[in-house]
Structure 1
């Protein structure tokens, strides 16, 4: 074994140990299937114990590090499979179809999700300045699959260890989260991510409209209000919105509403009528039709199934 092979072997062993530690950390906070808050800002652990069919959802800007199992994400006709060797990077809010490919009760799918903070991204881009590589050739790719690196895993493990340090976590967590942002922006897909996140770019301006929709999804938002948030004309926003998300603003808002309604019913126990009303539907029958069209089953059936499983 030559020196480069020995170094690669050592890195693989180190990565395996770090993944095991992350898996233990996620398993500790995840008493059952679902998304679980870690107590750290913008950081969640995800656990699922069985494969699933395709499930449409809106993914928000985030880093998804899988430490056990395998998942597939499909967007704009392209499929991305992420696993312990590859993380998924979501650069802006996107309508994605997700599917768990490998998970069992004994070895569930475990994932650490870290939200991307726009203010940290902006500050990092400003600090990179002239040292930043040129814009990527393909800056239209909003979803990225990247080989998981040892430094990124080390930072993620140090971040999760802070759960056992309540006195210092508020001070140290922002520093480690900033380190993770820097590694993403300077890593393998850094040039492409910087192109998408550029403050003066169309994708970033559309991101401002997406943020407004995410905040006020239950309201009736005119295209003029979204265009104002994006600093674009309504016609320009409509065109760029479709380029980024593959949907119109109204279609995207509908997806947000239905996803939140599903969470309210399955996660908080609301009935279908109340969930639909809370996310902005005035008609229960309209809500039921839209829900069934997206998820393949009427909301009352999903609630009943969840109660049977419980």
Structure 2
């Protein structure tokens, strides 16, 4: 389930947040010139840029445990059947790896979508928890696949400082780690701080579900034995099902299915395999079931979907060449 948390801000804080967001946008624009998502030279920091909207289709991908912020533009993110839109100075926090559908809904060549992501670092977060919660971590009874909240200007400023470290090699080595620590501290002190902390604590339900997810990602083509997976995460089977759905917004079987289908699509788009071969490689034994599940997720049967995306890629390439020729 996607959850939006409210923060109480004064007008002055909102003005500061807007100012910091504009500064962040200029920093991101300076370091990513082409559309797409790219890892930066700072470990754990990535940037993204998209200069056109996608009104008719979603991008299907994995979200890793991340804090992300939109510096310019807007995007929708769909997990399971739940969809949310975020932009401006909103921050999105993903505690565990989940398959998502994304769509850029506000972007243009002159004002592209610009975003920043910082991977949650369990070791860094675990080291900071005792300092932020010296009296112990409060109990949490509910979990979400995503948390969306209005960002405090101080958090946006910390993210800007991290991105600014890309301007100087010495800053990357000396200051980037400090900026990342500040980001995690400010997240831990926010309204979702307990949920961020639980991504790093070995005994927490979130961390145990994350370990089950890691196993699924490595073995998604194998038959799913629920009792074994629950035991691996140290839950009873019924508790595991409930906790898994709470944390990911989908059942373990649905999660496995999306992993299989996304991988099959990747293999076909890369031109490596036809639908029948890709279907077998990801663990399906029935072509008909594969086609039904594929169409339910992606909107078209495999052959039609792959042909459509190859045409989109061809058209995008032709448009890019035309733009270069006009410069």
| Mean CA deviation greater in 24-33 or 149-158 | 24-33
Which runs of no fewer than 5 residues in structure 2 stay unpaired?
Answer: 1-9, 318-327
CA distance in 1, matches of 2:97, 2:29: 27
Change (3 A) 1:141 1:244: closer
* Equivalent residue number for residue 293 of structure 1: 296
* Equivalent residue number for residue 5 of structure 2: none
Deviations 1:102-135 (A, max 9, x none): 1122211111011112222323224434345633
1:177 aligns with 2:180: yes
CA distance in 2, matches of 1:217, 1:166: 40
Contact 1:276 1:284 in 2 (8 A): no
* Equivalent residue number for residue 3 of structure 1: none
SS of corresponding position for 2:240: helix
Q: What is the TM-score with the length of structure 2 in the denominator?
A: 0.76
Contact 2:132 2:185 in 1 (8 A): no
Deviation at 1:234, TM superposition (A): 3.9
Change (3 A) 1:22 1:134: same
Deviation at 1:180, TM superposition (A): 0.9
Deviations 1:145-178 (A, max 9, x none): 2112221112111111222222442443233222
* Equivalent residue number for residue 69 of structure 2: 65
SS of corresponding position for 1:22: helix
CA distance in 2, matches of 1:172, 1:254: 42
* Equivalent residue number for residue 20 of structure 1: 22
* Equivalent residue number for residue 44 of structure 1: 46
Change (3 A) 1:277 1:28: farther
RMSD: 3.3
CA distance in 1, matches of 2:316, 2:266: 16
* Equivalent residue number for residue 168 of structure 2: 165
CA distance in 2, matches of 1:288, 1:226: 27
Question: In structure 1, which of residues 96, 101, 113 is the aligned counterpart of residue 105 of structure 2?
Answer: 101
Contact 2:35 2:51 in 1 (8 A): yes
Deviations 1:76-108 (A, max 9, x none): 665433212211112223344433221122211
Deviations 1:240-271 (A, max 9, x none): 223322333232122123334545666xx444
Larger RCO (CA under 8 A, 6+ residues apart): 2
Change (3 A) 1:308 1:276: farther
Q: What is the TM-score with the length of structure 1 in the denominator?
A: 0.80
CA distance in 2, matches of 1:61, 1:289: 30
Question: In structure 2, which of residues 198, 209, 213 is the aligned counterpart of residue 210 of structure 1?
Answer: 213
CA distance in 2, matches of 1:33, 1:236: 42
Contact 1:58 1:255 in 2 (8 A): no
The alignment of Structure 1 onto Structure 2 pairs a total of residues equal to: 300
CA distance in 2, matches of 1:263, 1:141: 27
| Mean CA deviation greater in 184-193 or 223-232 | 223-232
* Equivalent residue number for residue 4 of structure 1: none
* Equivalent residue number for residue 149 of structure 1: 152
CA distance in 1, matches of 2:213, 2:170: 35
CA distance in 2, matches of 1:145, 1:114: 15
Contact 1:74 1:80 in 2 (8 A): yes
